[in-house]
Chain A
Amino acid sequence: MESKTTSGGKAPLISAKSEPSVSVNPSPFRVLLQKEISDQIRSWRFIILISLIVLICLGSLYASLGSFAKSVKPTEAEGAFFFLRLFTLSNGRLPSFVLLIGFLSPLLGIGLGFDSINSEFNGGTLSRLLSQPIHRDSILNAKFLAPLIVVSVMFFSLGLLVMGSGLIALGIPPTAEEFMRIILFIFISIIYVAFWLNLSIFLSVKFRQAATAALMGIAIWLFFTVFYPMIINLVTQLFEPSRYAPVPYIIAFQKIKFLLMQLVPGRLFNEATTTLLMPGVRSLGPLTFWQLQGTIPSPLPLGQSILLVWPQLTGLIAVTIVCFVLSYVSFMRREVRSR
C-alpha cells in the first residue's frame, strides 16, 4: 500500500500513524460504530428528541423546586433523602422527572431505532455494506450500540445537570448514598431505553417501510401503557374473590394479578426507579398485615433497595436481550437484495 505519499493537507499526526500500516487498522465494527454515532448526532430527529428531553427536564426541575419547600416538614428526620425529591416531586401540574423519563424513554428508543435497518435497505446501502469484508452482526451491533452510547451520554449529563442545578438551588449537597441511587436510576433508565431501542430495531428489520415500523412501535407502547392494564383489570375483576374468601385464596389472587401487571416493561421500570428514588418503599408486591408487624418505619439502605428491585432489573435486561436476539435471528437469515 502506498502509505508514503501523504497528501499535502494532512496533519503530520496521520502520516505518523499510518506508518506501521497494518497494526493501527481499525476494526470494521469500530468504523461502523463511528459512522452510526455521527449519523445519530447529525440527524434532525436526534436534535428534536434531545431538545424535547431537555425541555422536560427543565420543566420538571422547575416544578419540583417550586414545591420543594412545601414537601419538607420540620418533623422529618435528618437522613430523609431531601435530594432525591428533586427527581420524584411534582407540583400537581407537571409530572415528576422520573415519570417524565419513564414516559419519554419509549419514545426516545423507538425514535432512534425505527428506521435503522430498513432505511439502509431502502437506500440500497445495506447490500453495499454487506459486500464489504465485515460480519453481518457487526452492523446490527453498531446500530444498537451507537444510539445507546449517545443516549447514555445524554442521560448521564442530564442527570448530573439536574443534580448540579438542584445543588445550587437547594444548597444541600447529596449524600453518597443519594448520589449512588441517582446514578443507578440513570443506569436503569438507559436499560429501559435500550429495551425500546431493541424492539424498534427488531421492527425495522421486520418491516420494510420505516413508517410501518414506527407506527408498530408506538402501537406496542400504547398497548402496554394504556390498554394492557385495562384489560388485566377487566379480566381479573371477573375472578375477584369476595372479601370473605379464605386468606390464602386472596393472596394467591393478588399475586397472580401482580404478576400479570409485571409483564409490562414500563411497569418494571417504574417500580425499579421509584424504589430506588424513594427509599421508604419496602415492598412492591402485596403485603400482609403480619408481614408489617414489628418493622421500623425507616428508609431502606441502598443494598436492600437494590435487592428489592433485582427481579425488575433482571426482567428489564431479559426483555432487552430477547428483543435483540429476535432482531439478530431475523436479520442474519435475511436475504439482502439491492433495493
Chain B
Amino acid sequence: MTVEEKIIELKNLTKSYDQFTAVDHLNLSVSKGEIFGLLGPNGAGKSTTILMMLGLSEPTSGSISICGYDPRRNPIEVKRKVGYLPENVGFYNDRTGLENILLTAQLNGYSYGEAVEKSIETLQKAGLTDDIDQKIKTYSRGMRQRLGLADVLIKDPEVIILDEPTLGVDPNGVQEFLDSIVELSRKNGITVLLSSHDLHEVQKVCDRVGLIVGGKLIAQGNLNELSQQLFHTAAYQIIAEIIWPGDNDPVERMKAIFKDIRGVINIEKEKNNTYLFDCETEMSSDIARLVVTSGGNLVSLTQKKYGLDEIYYRYFEGGLNHGK
C-alpha cells in the first residue's frame, strides 16, 4: 500500500443523550479495501457510531467523512455508496424475497427491468435461488441474513457496514457468511466495517480492529499493536520462578539487585518463589543473568504475552468499569 485512501474517517465524534455520552470523542479511520472490526461489549456505542456514519442519527459534535462525503450534509451520496446491514435486519414478511430485494434495487435507481435482472442475479449469488418466490415469513434466520447480504450487495457498494451481522446464526452459517464477506472484500476491493462483540469472529476476518468501550476507542490496529497499546505501562511482563537460598525478603533483595538496571519498572511477588517483572523492553536474558550471578536458583522464566483473550477478559468480562 502506497498512499492509503481513507474511506471512513471519524474525528472527535461525540454523541450524547441527555445525561449519557454514548460515543465520546471517537477517532477512527479505515482505508480502502480494508476489513475493519469494531469490537466492543454491548452498549459500548458501536451501533450509535454506525448510525451516525449513515446519517441516521445526528452527532453532537465531531466530523465524519465517508468516501469524502459528510453524512450530515450529503446523506444520499453516502447511502448510495454504503451498504448497511443492521442486526436483525427486517424484511416485509408478506412479500417474497425477490420483491423485497426488488424494492431496494429500484430505490437505488434501477429501472424495473434492470432491477429484476439484477435481483435474481444477486439472490443466486447469495444462494437463495430456490427461495426467491417464497414469502419472507418462511425464511430461516440464516436465510434472512443471506438475504440481508444480497440486499446490501445489490447497490454495488464501495463500503459495507455490518452491525452484529451474525447474531443468532448458527456457527456454520456464521463461517459461511464471514467467508463470503472476506471474499467480496478481497475480490472487489470493498471496504468492510464489521461491528461485533465476538472476539473470535473479529479475529478471524479483520485486518485491523478497533476496541471500543464506553464510547471511547481504546485502541486500534492489528492484534499485536492492540496489545501493545492496551498494556503500554508494562509492554513486557516476565514471570520468573527463583529460589533464593536462605532469604526472608527476596523482593527487597531483588529490587536492590535490579536498582541500577534500566528497564525494570517493578518487581512483585506473585506466588511462592514466583515473581513478576514489569519491563519496558524485552529483557529476560538480562534478568536471568543477573539472578544467576547474584546467587539465585532460576527455575523457570517465561514471558507473559497478551493475547486477545486477555484483552477480552480485561475489558469485556470484567465489565465496563475496567475499561475506564
Binding site for B on A (CB under 8 A): 1-3, 5-7, 10, 14-15, 17-18, 21, 24-26, 28, 31-32, 35, 39, 42, 123-135, 333, 335-339
Contact = CB atoms under 8 A, between A and B. Distances in A.
A131 B117 CA distance: 22
Contacts of B103: 31, 35
B108 interface: yes
Contact of A133 (B58, B92, B107): B107
B94 interface: yes
A125 B93 CA distance: 10
B97 to A, nearest CB: 14
Contact of B112 (A26, A32, A35): A26
B86 A128 contact: yes
Nearest to B156: A1
Given A35-B103, A133-B76, A133-B107, A338 B113 contact: no
B188 to A, nearest CB: 15
A339 B91 CA distance: 12
Contacts of B151: 128
Contacts of B205: none
A135 B76 CA distance: 7
B236 interface: no
Given A6-B117, A10-B116, A21 B111 contact: yes
Contacts of A5: 117
B79 interface: yes
B110 A132 contact: no
A131 B114 contact: no
Nearest to B106: A31
A131 B84 contact: yes
B87 interface: yes
B111 A127 contact: no
A7 B115 CA distance: 11
Interface in B25-60: 47, 51, 54, 56-58
Contact of A123 (B56, B57, B90, B120): B90
Given A133-B76, A134-B76, A127 B90 contact: yes
Interface in B253-268: none
18 contacts: A17-B112, A25-B109, A25-B111, A28-B109, A31-B106, A35-B103, A124-B86, A125-B92, A128-B104, A129-B107, A131-B84, A132-B155, A133-B77, A135-B76, A336-B51, A337-B51, A338-B89, A338-B90
List of 5 A-B pairs having minimum Cβ-Cβ separation, nearest first: A124-B90, A338-B86, A14-B113, A18-B113, A131-B84
B138 to A, nearest CB: 16
B24 interface: no
Query: Could you say which of A26, A123, A133 has the most chain B C-beta atoms within 10 Å of its C-beta?
Result: A133
Nearest to B103: A35
A311 to B, nearest CB: 40
Nearest to A27: B109
A21 to B, nearest CB: 7
Contacts of B56: 127, 130-131, 335-337
A22 B87 CA distance: 33
B88 interface: yes
A3 B86 CA distance: 30
Interface string B173-203: 0000000000000000000000000000000
A225 B60 CA distance: 44
Given A14-B113, A21-B114, A337-B47, A132 B58 contact: no
Nearest to B80: A133
Contacts of A24: 111
Do most interface residues of chain A lie in helix, strand or loop, or is the interface mixed? loop
A18 B114 contact: yes
Nearest to A14: B113
Given A3-B114, A131-B84, A123 B92 contact: yes
A28 B163 contact: no
B82 interface: yes
Contacts of A338: 47, 86-90, 163
Contacts of B106: 26, 28, 31
A335 B56 CA distance: 6
Nearest to B77: A133
Given A6-B113, A335-B58, A337-B47, A132 B86 contact: no
Interface string B116-141: 11101000000000000000000000
Contact of A25 (B88, B91, B110): B110
A15 B94 contact: no
Contact of A15 (B51, B79, B113): B113
B235 to A, nearest CB: 39
A277 to B, nearest CB: 40
Given A25-B109, A131-B56, A7 B89 contact: no
A35 B77 CA distance: 23
A132 B111 contact: no
B107 A134 contact: yes
B90 A125 contact: yes
B41 to A, nearest CB: 17
B83 to A, nearest CB: 8
Given A125-B92, A339-B90, 8 more contacts: A10-B117, A18-B114, A26-B112, A28-B106, A28-B109, A124-B89, A335-B51, A335-B58
A123 B94 CA distance: 11
Contacts of A126: 90
A28 B57 contact: no
Contacts of B104: 128, 132
A135 B107 CA distance: 11
A333 B58 CA distance: 8
Nearest to B81: A133
A125 B106 CA distance: 16
Contacts of A124: 86, 88-91
Given A128-B90, A132-B104, A7 B110 contact: no
